[in-house]
Structure 1
Amino acid sequence: MSDLHRLSIRELSEGLAQAKFSSRELTEHYLKRIAKIDTQVQSYITVTAEQALAQADAADAAIKAGHATTLTGLPIAHKDIFCTQGIKTTAGSKMLDNFISPYDATVVAKGKAAGLVTLGKVNMDEFAMGSTSENPHFGSTKNPWNLEHVPGGSSGGSAAVVAADLAPFATGTDTGGSIRQPASFCGLTGLKPTYGRVSRFGMIAYASSMDQGGPMARSAEDCAYLMNVMAGHDAKDSTSVQKEVDDYVSNLNDTSVKGLRIGIPKQYFNVQGLDADVKARVEESLKKLEEMGAILVEINLNMTEAYVPTYYLIAPAEASSNLQRFDGVRYGYRCENPVDLMDLYKRSRSEGFGTEVQRRILIGTYALSAGYYDAYYVKAQKVRRLIQQDFLKAFENVDVIAAPSAPTTAYKIGANLSPTEMYLGDIYTLAVNLAGLPAINAPVGFDKNNLPVGLQLIGNYWSESQLLSVVHQYQQATDWHTKRAAIAEENA
């Protein structure tokens, strides 16, 4: 029973079904690990031990009565951007440090309906704006592979809990790479679905036209199990698409790597700042896929230089609109002893929001202001369409597109990257969100400092099954996804 955290989702599901252990025993195992290890990793903002044990007992009763789903009784961690009824939902911000949601996000509600057990809510960059999870209010989450390094962001807490075996899988969100980059930094598999595939209802908004929830786990198979729960139309989300949902688990072997045409954008491998070890590991993984029968095809993605400036006009513009609701009046942080209404607004927002959030609000407000709207925001939206067309043209000749997930491995905590340096670190991930495409990160090795490297595969619209299948077959031929950080090997 001491090694339950080493089991895959399929093995955990089978173990519960065969009564090898109970959901309460499994939940207690993870709670003990959290109590012992998370003091070092600092991944959880809120641990819901009492509620988790109650859910575990209910799951055990459902299993005994024969009413269980495949995932009934399995523990999960939720990024603290998903609203959870009766549990604090902070979005990683002082602004919402006292917010108890009166309802569940659809992703959380679907998890409950499937019998998942919520262990707690995990740390993140404030309002999902960042790439390091160095949170100014809740502290810096550590990378389990090296506690002196960041886990990535903004879903850094979600990546860290899985990499440290403090949850078997976790939910994340991806607005510009916030699932794929931390998955890369922590040696995990993470899927950003097609925009509209997973409901955004109850997910605190950053940039509404790009935000998308997705699964983070050790393997493509584990992600597929969670996607089966998360995906699907939701009438509460006007951007949710009415499209039949695949059985992602059953489809894991449906895509043959043999004959698969993988596009290699030459612009991506000539980016200034691409680390030599990252480039080498990604190229080795592509060579492995080629040995498995894939066909590598050089392609051009001519809009590459436009990704960062386009994203950092549109996303902050949407953020400035979404975050104007946090004004100190209705809910959330309110400054003490305001002298008048204007003082209440100013101090509540300046005290409640961190530096990076304030920076993006200011950039977005400027881009939307009179006199600049056409010059910046409208032009960025036009370029966004050109970026989408660039990808669609490439998909006429290839099945998937390969790239690094990030140009480097995990930064050191306190590296104090300039905003420009941090934004350029998203060069490989931003375009996927601008175009609304699905993409997945797969671990493919380590750099000279034993920090994980990730390969990103980008698919055409609604090709989540294909991406999961390709990575699953790659993972049947390699063992990078089975590697564990030393801290994950500690027993509770």
Structure 2
Amino acid sequence: MKQRIKLKSLLFLCCLLASAGAQSQRSNPTAGMEPMLDLKFTATERDSLLSRLEDYLTLYKSLHHHALPNSAGMALFFDPRPTGFVMPADVEKPEWNLPDHVAMPANREALAFMPVYQLASLIRSRQLTSVELTKLYIARLKRHSETLQCTITLMEESALSQASRADREIATGRYRGPLHGIPYGLKDLFAVEGTPTTWGATPYREQVVAGTATVVRKLEEAGAVLVAKLTLGALAMGDIWYGGKTRNPWNLLQGSSGSSAGSAAATAAGLVAFAIGTETWGSIVSPSTRCGATGLRPTFGAVSRAGAMTLSWSMDKVGPICRSALDCALVYDVIRGEDAADPVTRKSTFSYRAATPITRLRIGYIKSLFDLDTANRGHHDRALNVLRKLGVDLVPVEVPQGLPVDALSMITGV
């Protein structure tokens, strides 16, 4: 973390020097600043930084065209509640209407792609044990992780121990809920006691962070089984990590997108039942779209970030990546809520009613973004068409344009 902050400071200071116009610093602006920041780069490393420095200079120039008064404060925290709004008591439990009777598939490999709510029914009815399901996912992780480049740490021993405990509890009548005995994957920027937390970056390959992230503890309390720590783009950017490039399971010539790269790829490929990702700026929705998974990017402050790597104090969010919207709701209900270790978290209700007709929903979408000719355009169009066929009221909306959002990200990030 110290080196990341130094690197960002280096980029900032170098941009200031470059903007001064000195030819020597424009050609190699890092060399003069290295002694001031107690860093030393090779000529090759300096060259690799140069294009990013030039990008930063462009962003700083764009900020100069949008002057703000001195009194304008940074939006350090986002609170969706209007002034004076009192959150109702969170006393009503969600009405899931989960299936009571799910048949075991003839081909047990099909279990790998079943949604959580169906797997939960099989485990609750004891047609399937958590150990059996965990072994199936471990085997698939071993078989496909090298191709997809989606796994950093396979937690086989601890996963089987957790699964055995889940089976014992269920056998004695203690059923913790729909995630009990369900194997899942974790983006490798969350701390797990005694386990490396690499952030996907070479300098942190052996890093072991003290303690366990709040979201992991909540999932453990719900009986979920942590089976693997999954890849992320280095320092939570993109899909390239120190071991390679995470792949889209449906097109191996294509990256999975990121930064929750392994979480989306492994879930879509049936290597885990669900996964936990994070999003600062598209890191759940982008890989989910690319890989054909279902991701939920919760509102800022809805889920604790304690124990996770920080990319932006005012923008980081934690959410599930699953194979159905109902699965996302089941996981979100477990991980949401206040946490003293993360001061931006807050109380909020989650009144899920499965019986509510979908035709009563109004969903807004930013039309100008959906109309962009990007690699994901086809996925976006198909999603909108499915919602239209279901009878959802789609409302095109727009957001203010022309603001230097990209440039501001340099200030809000670590």
- The 1:129/1:2 distance shift into structure 2, 3 A limit, reads closer
Q: Distance in 1 between matches of 2:411 and 2:341?
A: 24
Q: Distance in 2 between matches of 1:165 and 1:279?
A: 24
| Match 1:84 to one of 185, 192, 200 | 192
Q: Does 1:176 align with 2:289?
A: no
| Match 2:130 to one of 11, 20, 23 | 23
CA-to-aligned-CA distance 1:468-488 (integer Å, 9 cap, x gap): xxxxxxxxxxxxxxxxxxxxx
| Match 1:258 to one of 359, 374, 380 | 359
| Match 2:324 to one of 194, 211, 219 | 219
Corresponding position of 1:159: 264
CA contact (8 A) 2:371 2:377 kept: no
Larger relative CO (CA 8 A, sep 6+): 1 or 2? 1
Corresponding position of 2:401: 304
| Match 1:98 to one of 206, 213, 229 | 206
Between the two proteins, what is the percent identity of the paired residues? 36
| Match 1:49 to one of 156, 164, 171 | 156
- What's the secondary structure of 2:122's corresponding residue? helix
| Match 2:139 to one of 23, 26, 32 | 32
Q: Distance in 1 between matches of 2:146 and 2:370?
A: 39
| Match 1:119 to one of 200, 207, 227 | 227
CA contact (8 A) 1:77 1:158 kept: yes
Q: Distance in 2 between matches of 1:134 and 1:194?
A: 27
Larger radius of gyration: 2
The count of corresponding residues between Structure 1 and Structure 2 is 306
Q: Distance in 2 between matches of 1:157 and 1:205?
A: 18
Corresponding position of 1:294: 392
Q: Distance in 2 between matches of 1:174 and 1:106?
A: 16
Q: Distance in 2 between matches of 1:257 and 1:143?
A: 30
Q: Distance in 2 between matches of 1:5 and 1:100?
A: 30
Q: Which structure 2 segments of 5+ residues have no match?
A: 1-107
| Match 1:187 to one of 292, 309, 312 | 292
- What's the secondary structure of 2:228's corresponding residue? strand
Q: Distance in 2 between matches of 1:260 and 1:14?
A: 28
Superposed, which structure 2 residues align to 1:349-428 within 5 Å?
Answer: none
- What's the secondary structure of 1:52's corresponding residue? helix
Aligned-residue offset at 1:32: 0.9
Q: Which structure 1 segments of 5+ residues have no match?
A: 321-492
Q: Does 1:315 align with 2:414?
A: no
- What's the secondary structure of 2:411's corresponding residue? helix
Corresponding position of 1:9: 116
Q: Distance in 2 between matches of 1:42 and 1:269?
A: 29
CA contact (8 A) 2:363 2:392 kept: yes
- What's the secondary structure of 1:63's corresponding residue? helix
Q: Distance in 1 between matches of 2:127 and 2:227?
A: 21
RMSD: 2.1
Counterpart code for 2:257:
G
- The 1:288/1:69 distance shift into structure 2, 3 A limit, reads same
Give the TM-score of the pair, scaled to structure 1.
0.59
Give the TM-score of the pair, scaled to structure 2.
0.69
Q: Does 1:58 align with 2:165?
A: yes
- The 1:153/1:64 distance shift into structure 2, 3 A limit, reads same
Counterpart code for 2:195:
I
- The 1:58/1:142 distance shift into structure 2, 3 A limit, reads same
Corresponding position of 1:134: 240
Aligned-residue offset at 1:37: 1.5
Q: Does 1:231 align with 2:332?
A: no
- What's the secondary structure of 2:295's corresponding residue? strand
CA-to-aligned-CA distance 1:164-197 (integer Å, 9 cap, x gap): 1110100000000100000000001100001110
Counterpart code for 2:182:
L
CA contact (8 A) 1:141 1:151 kept: yes
CA contact (8 A) 1:267 1:304 kept: no
Corresponding position of 1:150: 255
CA contact (8 A) 1:190 1:214 kept: yes
Q: Distance in 2 between matches of 1:269 and 1:36?
A: 36
Counterpart code for 2:333:
N
Q: Distance in 2 between matches of 1:84 and 1:147?
A: 30
- The 1:296/1:146 distance shift into structure 2, 3 A limit, reads closer
CA contact (8 A) 1:228 1:247 kept: no
Q: Distance in 1 between matches of 2:111 and 2:367?
A: 43
